[in-house]
Structure 1
Amino acid sequence: MLMNTTIPRIIGACFYYPPQTTLIAVLPELVALFPWPQPELLRQQTERLTEFDAETLMHDYSMLFEGVGMMPAPPWGSVYLDRENLLMGDSTLDYRQFLAQQGMATNTDNPEPEDQFGLMLMAFAYLLESDKPTAAQQLLSEHLLPWAERYLSLVQSSDTEHVFYPQLAEMTWLYLRTLQQQLNLPVEAKELYL
């Protein structure tokens, strides 16, 4: 139950792809798949998220993930981990090397750095499905958790038109923090520059 891959796949897709009604509709089902603290409160929050349709969320998605206007919460790890806040910084190259060691290569239609938050959650799920739990935990400890809390807090405080993405960010941090605690994962200490 703790290492169920449905949760990081669905959440990762929500943080990567444009809003999709089918993804939004399944969010309440994630409550039964994981040992959440306060599951009833989470069930209520996810039910509220299903009230949004994909079209109404497009502006918020564009602002948060495509850079329309000022991007309040860039979704790439290197922006937080690189002194100059660059895309494709050293942390991206380290992550790319990690993926290559696992026999993985990111192949998307977008020429996007691999350290995009949603893509990383989906890579975590893929490693679990490939029976590589040690590598999956390494992905969390070394590549995602060092910057995830900062990123998700910026999403939560973003001036979005709707509460969908801020609430999704809150749920995602709860998921990652619970995973970290339950698995007793060390988080590699890295300096954040954003």
Structure 2
Amino acid sequence: MTSEDNKWIISAAMFNWLADIFYQIPTAEKLVLVKESLVDWPILSKDPSVHVNTILASIEADGQGEINQDFHRLFIGPGKKEVYPWGSIYTDEEKLLFGPSTFLWKEFCFENNLDIQPESNEPTDHFALFFYGLAAIMLSEYDDEKKSFIVSKILKVHFHPWGKTVLELIEQKAQTGYFKGFALLAKDLVEHWS
């Protein structure tokens, strides 16, 4: 395995972790796994230790109950979500779901053999699904040049117009260090690949 192959595999694992953190409800089992695994978070360009320590401290101080409440408050409700996770909310003039950016993303996925399936009847332009998509491309059989091209296009065309805003909103509005820390890790990883 070459160092280039290793870079793709490590980055794909990081994007998959982040996708899972921001898309799945945090369970007690997941928090145990995070605690066990996060200490080995790779260094790609920036030292992640401050963000990792913030997350680990939050798991200890806040526990699964508060982290779960924060997840719901940020992304689900009840009431108004603190952070809308779908790109069309940020790119559509009327701030509607299933806007033109959703359909452009869906078309891009089809053209590049990305099978992105939301768990419920929601748009495919949820920011965490972009992370799953990036990971899938990084682990694909495409050659390095094609992988780089597709990753760059996902980030520049489909994610950057709104995705950084989502991560900044999570950082600002999260009440636990868990989500603040993961938003910062995500920003660093996206920046590394941009």
Where do 5+ consecutive residues of structure 1 fail to align? 181-194
Report deviation, 1:53.
3.8
**Within 2, Cα distance between the matches of 1:59 and 1:144?**
27
- The match for 1:9 is 16
- The match for 2:3 is none
**Within 2, Cα distance between the matches of 1:140 and 1:26?**
30
Percent identical across equivalent pairs? 21
- The match for 2:34 is 24
TM-score, reference length from structure 1? 0.81
Give, as a single letter, the amino acid of the residue that structure 2 aligns with 1:140.
Answer: L
Note closer, same or farther for the CA distance 1:130–1:68 as it changes in structure 2 (3 Å cut).
Answer: same
- The match for 2:169 is 154
Q: 1:45 aligns with which of 38, 54, 61?
A: 54
How many residues are paired up?
178
Give, as a single letter, the amino acid of the residue that structure 1 aligns with 2:109.
Answer: L
Does the CA contact (< 8 Å) of 1:27 and 1:46 recur in 2?
no
- The match for 1:165 is 179
Note closer, same or farther for the CA distance 1:53–1:88 as it changes in structure 2 (3 Å cut).
Answer: same
Give, as a single letter, the amino acid of the residue that structure 2 aligns with 1:38.
Answer: D
Measured against aligned partners, the alpha-carbon deviations of 1:137-191 in whole angstroms (never above 9, x if no partner) come to: 2111211122122111111111x442321221122112211222xxxxxxxxxxx
Report deviation, 1:39.
3.8
**Within 1, Cα distance between the matches of 2:192 and 2:51?**
13
Report deviation, 1:13.
0.7
**Does residue 110 of structure 2 align to residue 110 of structure 1?**
no
Where do 5+ consecutive residues of structure 2 fail to align? 1-5
Does the CA contact (< 8 Å) of 2:87 and 2:125 recur in 1?
yes
- The match for 1:75 is 85
Give, as a single letter, the amino acid of the residue that structure 2 aligns with 1:174.
Answer: D
Looking at both structures, which has the greater relative contact order when contacts are Cα pairs under 8 Å and sequence separation is at least 6? Answer: 2
- The match for 1:145 is 160
Does the CA contact (< 8 Å) of 2:102 and 2:125 recur in 1?
yes
Secondary structure of 1:137's aligned partner? helix
Report deviation, 1:2.
4.1
**Within 2, Cα distance between the matches of 1:122 and 1:26?**
22
Does the CA contact (< 8 Å) of 1:2 and 1:34 recur in 2?
no
**Within 2, Cα distance between the matches of 1:59 and 1:164?**
12
**Does residue 31 of structure 2 align to residue 34 of structure 1?**
no
**Does residue 188 of structure 2 align to residue 174 of structure 1?**
yes
State how 1:115-134 maps to structure 2 within 5 Å.
Answer: 115-132=125-142, 133=147, 134=149
Does the CA contact (< 8 Å) of 2:55 and 2:177 recur in 1?
no
Report deviation, 1:29.
4.0
**Within 1, Cα distance between the matches of 2:137 and 2:72?**
29
Q: 1:94 aligns with which of 90, 96, 104?
A: 104
Say which structure is richer in helix.
2
